[in-house]
Amino acid sequence: MKKGLLIVVSGPSGCGKGTVLGAVKDKLELCYSVSATTRDIRDGETDGVNYHYMKKEQFEQLIAEGKILEYTTYCGNYYGTLREEVESRRNAGQNVLLEIEVIGASNVKRLCPDAVLIFIAPPSISELERRLRKRGTETEDVIAERISQAEREIHCAKDYDYIIVNAALEKAVQDISAVIIAEKISAKNKEQIISEVLNP
Ligand code: 5GP
């Protein structure tokens, strides 16, 4: 069975990652790994779909049991990738998409060197601030914290395999589609591709 790709996407809160990924997910046959988090559920989100929401104690129990592949704290809450979500799907040949922050992404790259890292950047910090305010889900304090976090994250984009600037949705969707299609036929996977040609 051909192992699925592991695509890791990061970008500051409000950069439009969700919208870009929503547009490519079905078209490119990607399945989301649903993370665990201790942050509060937002309006419009569903438990088990956006995240597995849980108490701090439950999250720490999963860490102790080795069920979390990587985790970090972000704006005072735990966020983590469940090992099972990634490994079972990749082994079943599915392409798995992780939408995680920069520390988690560099940990994934260390643990899974074949992961493909894509950073989605806003066109500017002022545009990011405008988008966060428009979303209207966060308080002023949280917005300020997310902006300074965004600046720190954008510096890390240099460690990613690809950087996509989301100035216009359609172009960002085109760019990310191009990256994923190229990775599917990349020479990095040549042994797998060659053996499929020789032994269909
Ligand atoms: P939000 O609260 O806006 O949903 O997410 C905050 C940040 O946590 C985002 O940058 C998001 O990509 C990141 N994040 C979500 N799930 C995970 C995870 O499982 N691991 C890590 N390291 N970061 C995550």
How much distance in Å is there from the Cα of 183 to the middle of ligand 1?
Answer: 24
How much distance in Å is there from the Cα of 36 to the middle of ligand 1?
Answer: 9
Torsion of CA 64, 65, 68, 72, to 10 degrees: -10
Q: Which two tokens stand for residue 131?
A: 């988008």
Residues 118, 27 contacting (CB under 8 angstroms): no
Provide the pLDDT for residue 68.
97
Task: Give the mean pLDDT of the chain.
Answer: 93
Name 125's Cβ contacts closer than 8 Å, sequence gap at least 6: 147, 150, 151
- Side chain identity at 46, as an amino acid letter? T
Q: How confident is the model at residue 189 (pLDDT cuts 50, 70, 90)?
A: confident
Domains defined along the chain, listed by start: 1-30+95-200 (3.40.50.300), 33-94 (3.30.63.10)
pLDDT tens, residue by residue, 13-50? 889 999 999 999 878 989 999 999 999 999 999 999 99
pLDDT tens, residue by residue, 144-178? 988 999 999 999 999 999 999 999 999 999 999 99
User: Which of helix, strand or coil describes residue 196?
Assistant: helix
- pTM of the full predicted structure? 0.90
Provide the pLDDT for residue 1.
65
How much distance in Å is there from the Cα of 78 to the middle of ligand 1?
Answer: 9
Site to substitute for ligand 1 among 15, 71, 100, most atoms within 8 A of C-beta: 100
